Each structure stands twice: as C-alpha cells, then as structure tokens.
C-alpha cells in the first residue's frame, strides 16, 4: 500500500483573513485561486470580491470624484462596518445598491454608509428577499427529494429481501 499524499498547504492572501480564521494556512485543494500564486479561503475570496464591488459601485454610481485618500477612507469604512459592527458584506452591498436605485442622492459620502445600514426600508426589503430565497431553497430541495424517490415496483429498484431461517425455542436450548 502506498502512502496517502498529504495535501499541499498554501496561505490565504486576504489581508483580513485572521479576522475570519484562526490561521491563514489552508489546503490547496480547498483554496480558491485568485491569481497565479494567490490563494484564498472561499469566504475570504468572497469577502474581498464583494468589498471591491462595493468600492467600485460607490465610486462609479455615487461619487466619481473620490481621490486616493478618500477611496482609502471608503474601504476603511466598509471594513469597519463588516469587521467591527459585524454587518454582512452581502447586506452592505445590497444597501449600497438600494440607495442608488431607491433613494438616489441620499448617500453622498463614505461615512454615510454607517447610517445607510440602519435604513428601515433597506432592512425590510433585505429581510423579505432573504425569506423569499429560503422558501425557494426549501421548494427546490423538496422537488429534488420528489425526483429522487424510488419506485418500489420498478424493475430497476434493487431491493431484495432474504428471510432468515426462523428460530424456535428449541434452537435456543441447543
């Protein structure tokens, strides 16, 4: 018998990884490759991509005049909301888009994100969307279970019953 190969280990390149994980080290098989030699935990990669999306959306749709230092302040504000206030990065992304489409002009500067995440309308819409998504997932799982059910009468079912020899009281005494 040959030895089982130990998986190659890599380090997550996300700067905030230690806020999400005990170690930056992970198996290469479990990592998401984000560049030639850049590997990430799947949730770190999602976090990084979503923060970048929020940053780019904010610059493009809300304030295209942001300069380097202001962009740094925007990213810092996003990270503060996500890592200090423990607000989901997906919720923050939703709130930014909500303000762009439902309340144009109401969000004008990066620090305004702290107030935007508290908006009742955005929060209620987010909750309704989450509930709808959960219902859809349950319905999808139920449909999959129905499709996987086995027809006992079908010739392809491989259920075989082999009765054991019946034991009597006399068999026990022997």
Report in angstroms the alpha-carbon separations of 18 from 21, 44, 87.
Answer: 5, 10, 17
Contact 112, 98 (CB under 8 A): no
Q: How far apart are the first and last CA of the chain?
A: 45
3 state SS for 6-72: CCCEEEECCCCHHHHCCCCEEECCCCEECCCCCEECHHHHHHHHHHHHHHHHHHHHHCCCCCHHHHH
Reported as a pLDDT band with limits 50, 70 and 90, residue 174 is low
Q: Output 139 or 93, whichever has higher pLDDT.
A: 93
| pLDDT at residue 160 in the model | 61
| pLDDT at residue 6 in the model | 76
| pLDDT at residue 103 in the model | 87
Residue-wise pLDDT tens digits, 4-46: 677 788 999 999 888 888 988 988 888 888 888 899 999 999 9
| pLDDT at residue 167 in the model | 67
> What is the rounded average pLDDT for all residues in the chain?
85
CA–CA separation, 4 vs 129, rounded Å? Answer: 45
| pTM for the structure as a whole | 0.72
Reported as a pLDDT band with limits 50, 70 and 90, residue 91 is very high
Residue-wise pLDDT tens digits, 44-76: 999 999 999 999 999 999 989 888 899 999 999
Residue-wise pLDDT tens digits, 111-140: 999 999 999 999 999 999 999 989 888 988
Neighbours of 48 (CB within 10 A): 20
């Amino acid at each position: 018998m040959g030895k089982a190969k130990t998986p190659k280990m890599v380090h997550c390149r996300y700067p905030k990884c230690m806020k999400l994980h005990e170690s930056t080290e992970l198996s290469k098989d479990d990592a998401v490759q984000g560049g030639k030699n850049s590997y990430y935990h799947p949730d770190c990669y999602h976090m990084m991509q979503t923060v970048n999306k929020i940053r780019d959306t904010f610059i493009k749709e809300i304030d295209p005049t942001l300069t380097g230092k202001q962009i740094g302040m925007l990213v810092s504000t996003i990270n503060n909301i996500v890592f200090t206030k423990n607000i989901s990065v997906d919720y923050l992304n939703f709130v930014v888009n909500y303000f762009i489409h439902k309340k144009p002009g109401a969000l004008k500067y990066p620090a305004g994100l702290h107030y935007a995440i508290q908006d009742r309308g955005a929060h209620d819409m987010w909750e309704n969307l989450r509930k709808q998504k959960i219902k859809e997932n349950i319905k999808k799982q139920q449909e999959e279970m129905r499709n996987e059910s086995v027809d006992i009468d079908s010739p392809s079912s491989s259920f075989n019953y082999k009765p054991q020899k019946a034991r009597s009281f006399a068999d026990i005494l022997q």
